[in-house]
Structure 1
C-alpha cells in the first residue's frame, strides 16, 4: 500500500472528512514519526510495532565488482520490530 492508497482508504472509511484533511493527517503522522527517529527517539504503536534507530559501526567492506577493500562509514539506520498482535494476525491467529 502506498501513501496515496492509504489516504484514499482512510477517506473512504471516513466520508465526513475532506480529502485534503485526511492527506494532512497522514502526512503529519509520518512527519512526526520521522522527526522522532531523527532525534533518536523510539516510536511505539501498540498492537502494530515499534520504530527505533540503530547505530551501525564503521567497517571495512568490499566492492563487489572489483573486490577492492572499501571503508564504510558508521551510520544510523531505522529499525522496525512488529508488535505481538500484528505477528499473530499475520500468522493466522485471532486478534
Structure 2
C-alpha cells in the first residue's frame, strides 16, 4: 500500500505534537515546492542519507504507436532521476520487518 501525503502528515503530527498541524503542513509544502523549483531550474537536489533527485534530458526521437504501428514524433523532454542514499538503501535491505 502506498503512503499518500495526508497519511505522511498524520504520522508527522503524531510524532511532533508540540507543533501546530498547520505549521507542519506549511513546512512540508515549502520543502516540496523547493524541490520542485530546483528541479525545474535543472539543479540537483540532495538530502543526505535519503537520496538525490536530478533531471535528465530525453532526446527527441521517432517512436511508434504500438496499436497502429504508425510513426510518431516524440519531442525532447526532461525526466526526473532519483538515486537513493546509502542509509536509505541499508534501511530498506537490511532491516528486519
Aligned residues: 94
- Structure 1 unpaired stretches of 5+: none
Aligned to 1:92: 94
Give the SS at the match of 2:94.
coil
CA-CA distance at 1:93 after TM superposition: 5.5
Cα RMSD (Å): 1.2
Match of 2:79 in 1: 77
Q: Choose which of 16, 21, 24 in structure 2 pairs with 1:22.
A: 24
CA–CA distance in structure 1, aligned partners of residues 9 and 24 of structure 2:
6
CA distance in 1, matches of 2:47, 2:6: 21
